[in-house]
Amino acid sequence: MNTTNHYETLDPNDWDEMRTLAHRIVDDAITYLETIRERPVWQPVPDYVTARFDEQAPHEPAGPEAAYQEFLETIFPYPMGNIHPRFWAWYMGNGTVLGALADFLASIMNPNLGGGNHVANLVEGQVVNWMKEMLDFPRDSSGLLVSGGSMANFVGIAVARNAKAGFNVRENGMQEAPQQLTVYASIEVHSCNQKAVELLVLGSKNLRKIPVNADFTINLQALEETISADREAGYRPICIIGSAGTINTGAIDDLNALADLCQRKISGSM
């Protein structure tokens, strides 16, 4: 049915045309994944394509067909490469086809997770509960789905800071910190953690980068010595960041040993 005369709506002009295009997009996407091994991992973006992204914003709508055509020509052929089986640059890999389709459905529902009686909140709670089960966390521990690794680490360090600072950071702010708070991680830790300590007003100099062993895991002895020296110098150690798959080599720190060290060496709750 053609419903062209909508007054201010985000609906497509023609649902049937949109349905046809949507089917084509799904077909193209599945073929893209199915045939990925037949293409190079990566190819440089040609200058004429780069130039397309430097054009001024369009003042008239191009329409869905033209927009998709442009995607096919200037975007789809030039991926980062991380979804290719022969991508060795960093550890990050691919999602699943069903995961991608689930993203599509999530966009269709476009929920706001801020509250209310709707099922997306239950889905979030379910996923968090499943994660707790897998990680042997107590059932009454809390959790949150966030946008990715950077936000996860940011939130984690915020929790550590607020719980271990020894004063009410949320109410009084870092201006009232009686001691400098310190955070520990190996030199292989992802750079988002440094950004997080900066954003949380802890100061990047207070993120202590600890040397690694030959297998690129954190050196526990160096870590313990650094924490002891900091304590003696009047700092307040509040957090150890363990890497469960470093960005360069996928090394996994001895997380159990780090947990034991935290019990012994990290400041108590406020």
Note whether 163 and 269 are within 8 A (CB). Answer: yes
Residue selected from 190, 227, 235, 236 as contacting ligand PLP according to rule CB under 6 A: 190
Does the protein bind ligand PLP through residue 150 (CB under 6 A)? yes
Identify the CA nearest to 226 among candidates 182, 190, 189: 182
Q: What are the C-alpha distances in Å from 21 to residues 16, 69, 72, 163?
A: 9, 11, 13, 51
In the complex, least distance from residue 109 CB atom to ligand PLP, rounded to whole angstroms: 22
Does the protein bind ligand PLP through residue 155 (CB under 6 A)? no
Using the rule CB under 6 A, give the single segment among 10-18, 127-135, 148-156, 161-169 that binds ligand PLP: 148-156
Site for ligand PLP in 40-99 (CB under 6 A): 92
Does the protein bind ligand PLP through residue 255 (CB under 6 A)? no
Tell me how far apart the alpha carbons of residues 109 and 99 are, in angstroms, rounded to a whole number: 15
CA gyration radius, the chain: 24
Residue selected from 58, 114, 148, 178 as contacting ligand PLP according to rule CB under 6 A: 148
Q: What are the C-alpha distances in Å from 165 to residues 128, 159, 171?
A: 26, 10, 12
Instruction: Please say which residue, 188 or 230, places its beta carbon nearer to ligand PLP.
Output: 188
Residue selected from 21, 174, 192, 255 as contacting ligand PLP according to rule CB under 6 A: 192
Instruction: Please say which residue, 230 or 253, places its beta carbon nearer to ligand PLP.
Output: 253
Does the protein bind ligand PLP through residue 257 (CB under 6 A)? no
Does the protein bind ligand PLP through residue 149 (CB under 6 A)? yes
- Contacting residues for 185 by C-beta, under 8 A, at least 6 apart: 193, 207, 208, 209, 210, 218, 240, 241, 242, 243
Binding residues (CB under 6 A) for ligand PLP: these are 92, 148-150, 153, 190, 192, 247
